[in-house]
Structure 1
Amino acid sequence: MRLDRISLVLMLGMILCMPASGLAQSRQNGGPDDRDKDHVDPIYAGTLPPPPSVRQDLYDRYDTGQKALDAEDDPHMLASPASRSLNVSFEPGAQIPIVRLAQGYPAAITFLDATGQPWPIAWDLATNKAASCDDQGKSDRPTVRAVGINACVPQAGSNVLQITPVSRYPRGGLLVTLKDAPKPISFMIIAGTGAYDADLTVRITRKGPNAKEQASALGAVPDTSDPVLNNLLDGIPPMEAVPLLVSGVSADRLRAWKLKNTMYIRTTFELSSPAATSHVSEFDVTAYAAPFSSRLLVSIGERLVPVSVQEDGP
């Protein structure tokens, strides 16, 4: 009787041990585990696409990383572009112009002569037959010397210089030699936050190699020393000037202001009457100062077109 009980216990033990040993053998042989399969997240099992909330979370984390890499929240990277012009003279004792830059923002300097025509940057055709701007904005041209910045001329005969700071606060200067100029033009570089010179126009106070002959009524040499006219070229009229209503031509091509007995005109036409007392040109735009008159004559090609101006009254 005792032997029968022992045999029964051994048989039950063998029966209970068989599934466990089979499961262990299945795991050792790399077989599937139904219990593990039940706990696999379907997102990672590939059976279902991830829910929108998971995708949005992954995108937000990636976007945060990109903002950190690009210093999106860095206050030192904030800058606002400015467009302005200044006059430069070759005379001894002339002031050194300042160029404002900001890291990560390219800038351009355009050179014009006293008649408003492009003054090209000197070019050595023997060694520089093509453009000298590489992918980093660098140049090896002897007519441009830059310290603290990358500077280059996009093409031969151009009057535009492209400059890019190489660091956040570069210290240095810039030397530019213009074609047939008596000496190089020196610039001082200032970098930081705030406004930077995205578009700087440099007007040389003498005629260049591409000078345009002026009509006798305008005088031999434009008055580039008049700050009012220089500001008017930049689109800034005198503070106390009264805007005038213009009829006869498009207001986009001729605008006028009155200050006391003087009329200031900014136009793409040539003023024939009244005779201008001074003027400044830049490309196709000219700023005039003339005695006030309600009737103007402007030259459009070979035609004289009458223009009426009047104050905007009640």
Structure 2
Amino acid sequence: MGLNRKLLLAALAGTFILSSGLPSKAWAQADLDSLRASLEDAATEEDSVLPGGGDMARSPGLGLPSGPEASTGMSGAVNPFDQPKQAKPKTPEEIEQEIREKAFDAAITGLLPMNPDEIRVLLEKMDETQQAVEVPVYPYPGADVVVETVSLDPGSKPPVINVGVGHVTSLTILDVTGEPWPIKDLAFGGNFEVVSSGSGSHMIRITPLSEFAHGNVSVQLLNLKTPVTFTLSTQRDNIHYRFDARIPEYGPFAKVPIMQGGMTLVAGNSILSSVLDGIAPQGSEKMDVQGVDGRTTAYSYGETTYLRTPLTLLSPSWTSSVSSADGMNVYALSNAPVVLLSDRGNIVRASITEKGASDE
């Protein structure tokens, strides 16, 4: 049989096998083996008729597959006669567990769409934005605590209380002895929030409600016929955290001095107020005080000695004095080398000399 005829018969046999749709896998495999044998015989016969005794290499296109591909009859392809493997059906418990896992993942993605790093970046951006909105464009104001004697004379200007937005200023009313003076009534004007601590209190809290609020407050004190007025001014550089207003009169709760010193109440005495605030009068000389602690100081100004102490002066007599809410006293007396003070009932002797004189 000629070579071309054998190849044609082999090809027809393979085509018949593939198109017959035989259900038996064993038959299909046997026929494929037979087809492969026929093709090999045809190839051998072809080699025998080639010139040169078959030494010429076979064309790559005529090579037969070997190995796993040989059983399928095609290289790298799926055998059409192989039945697809059926997936194992899932149990109801597995189906329910799969549904729960998918629902949980969807809930996590919906509620928390961002990862922790993205959340930190978002919070930092929100913090920067909030800081840019809330921090004022101007520096924070400085805080001052002021003690000032209020003049009740006609024509005198009311004291000015500097307040600031976002800050509370406490106004306290004291008499000349440093004791609280109860407030009977008050009224105010301007865009402020003014709160009294209650009936019989001597303290007022003031807060401005706008950046440029301006107004005043009028206070009626117990047993004082003259109202006391203050000017309220909103500032940005320095504000009063506490303003102690000292009235140059004896209040309802004034302390009776142990010894009468010929006290004269002078409204707006700048030297007494300055010494009470801890500021030495201009042109004064600081004296050396021995026998008491550092809370007691003395200044010599002209023919007068100003003694600043939290203790009570017993001797000598003084011409004028003033006290603050924290119990500090200032006495104006003639130059005296020795003074007697009362420290909670104990008599203390203190000497006042010029600086350097005690070391000689």
Scaled by the length of structure 1, what TM-score is found? 0.71
In our comparison, the structure showing a higher alpha carbon Rg is 2
Matched, 1:188 2:257: no
State whether structure 2 residue 256 is matched by structure 1 residue 256: no
Find the counterpart in structure 2 of residue 150 from structure 1: 193
1:67 aligns with 2:131: yes
Cα distance, 1:190 vs. partner?
Answer: 1.0
Q: Is the 8 A contact 1:114 1:221 kept in 2?
A: no
* Amino acid in the other structure paired with 1:271: L
Deviation per CA, 1:238-297: give whole Å up to 9, x if none.
244333333222222x22223354322111222233332322122422112223333221
Structure 2 residue 273 is the aligned partner of structure 1 residue 230: yes
From 175, 183, 192, the counterpart of 1:121 = 183
Q: CA deviation at 1:206?
A: 2.2
Q: Which sections of structure 1, spanning at least 5 residues, go unmatched?
A: 16-28, 124-142
Q: 1:3 to 1:293 in 2, by over 3 A?
A: farther
Q: Deviations over 1:170-199 (max 9, x none)?
A: 122212221222143222221020111111
- 1:12-67 per-position Cα deviation (integer Å, ceiling 9, x unaligned): 8xx9xxxxxxxxxxxxx98999xxx9xxx9xx799xx94xx767645533431331
- Matching residue's letter, 1:96: P
- What is the alpha-carbon distance in structure 2 between the residues aligned to residue 176 and residue 104 of structure 1? 24
Q: Report the count of equivalent residues.
A: 271
**1:243/1:257 contact within 8 Å kept:** yes
Distance 1:178 1:76, change over 3 A: farther
**Cα distance in 1 between the residues matched to 2:16 and 2:189:** 107
1:40-55 counterparts in 2 under 5 A?
A: 50=116
Q: 2: distance between equivalents of 1:211 and 1:238?
A: 27
Higher relative contact order (CA 8 A, sep 6+): 1
Query: Larger strand proportion, structure 1 or 2?
Result: 1
Moved more, 164-173 or 256-265: 256-265
Moved more, 254-263 or 194-203: 254-263
- 1:288 aligned to 2:331? yes
Q: Which secondary structure does the structure 2 equivalent of 1:188 belong to?
A: strand
Residue 298 of structure 2 aligns with an amino acid whose one-letter code is: A
Inter-partner Cα distance in structure 1 for 2:212 and 2:256:
43
Q: 1:126-145 CA deviation, whole Å, 9 max, x = no partner? A: xxxxxxxxxxxxxxxxx333
Mapped contact 2:262–2:317 kept (Cα < 8 A): no
Match of 1:244 in 2: 287
| AA aligned opposite 2:322 | V
Please report how far the alpha carbon of residue 224 of structure 1 lies from its aligned counterpart in structure 2 after TM superposition: 4.0
State how far apart, in whole Å, the 1-side matches of 2:16 and 2:211 are. 95
More helix per residue: 2
Letter in 2 for 1:277: T
Aligned to 1:163: 206
Q: Which of 156, 176, 190 lines up with 1:94 in the alignment?
A: 156
Amino acid at match of 1:264: Y
Counterpart in 1 of 2:172?
A: 110
Q: List alignment gaps of at least 5 residues for structure 2.
A: 1-14, 22-73, 84-97
Contact 2:258 2:314 in 1 (8 A): no
In structure 2, C-alpha distance between the alignment counterparts of 1:269 and 1:32, rounded to whole Å: 80
RMSD (Å) for aligned C-alpha atoms: 3.9
Percent identity (aligned): 25
Kindly provide the amino acid, as one letter, of the partner of residue 112 in structure 1: L
2:335 is aligned with what amino acid? Answer: F
Task: Quote the residue 1:199 is aligned against.
Answer: 242
One-letter amino acid of the counterpart of residue 129, structure 2: G
In the aligned structure 2, how far is the partner of 1:250 from the partner of 1:55? Answer: 59
Q: Normalising by structure 2, what TM-score? A: 0.63
How far apart are the structure 1 equivalents of 2:329 and 2:266?
A: 11
Equivalent AA in structure 1 for residue 208 of structure 2 = P
